Structure 1
Amino acid sequence: MAITADSTILELLQEKPESADVLMRFGMGCLGCAIGRGESIRQAAAAHGIPLEELVAALGIEE
């Protein structure tokens, strides 16, 4: 499965567990957040005021 900005945080962490470090560097506590199970990476970036382009580049995924 290709992970994109429209994938959920849960899908990201299942496919790329090392992404947890990247999320934490951006100040995203999505690891234990119940919302993260259904929230897309795009939605999480917007909710945290993080530029999507920067986040997807750091995660190594497609927008």
Structure 2
Amino acid sequence: MINKDMTIGEVLKVDRNLAATLMEFGMGCVGCPSAQAETLAEAASVHGINGETLVNALNEAEGK
């Protein structure tokens, strides 16, 4: 299960296809080295996104 304290790198290790969901939220820099170490909560804050909404979307998309 994905949570807000996971880094983008950890999320992508769970399922590389989740990059598409991150990009849908405007996070086109998922491949940047610095973004890999950023938590979902931090990334959501920087991008003005509701972190809970992002985490829910990632959990829904996982394994599809």
CA contact (8 A) 2:21 2:57 kept: yes
Count residues with an aligned counterpart: 60
Mapped to 2, the partners of 1:49 and 1:16 lie a distance apart of: 24
AA partner of residue 40 (structure 1): T
**SS class of match (1:31):** coil
Structure 2: state its 5+ residue gaps: none
CA RMSD of aligned residues (A): 1.5
TM-score (norm 1): 0.82
Q: Is 1:49 aligned to 2:48, yes or no? A: yes
Mapped to 2, the partners of 1:25 and 1:57 lie a distance apart of: 13
Structure 1: state its 5+ residue gaps: none
Mapped to 2, the partners of 1:24 and 1:5 lie a distance apart of: 17
User: Segments of 4+ in structure 1 off by > 3 A?
Assistant: none
Map 1:1-63 → 2, pairs under 5 A: 2-60=1-59
Percent same amino acid at aligned positions?
Answer: 45
AA partner of residue 57 (structure 1): N
Deviations 1:13-39 (A, max 9, x none): 011212111001011023222221211
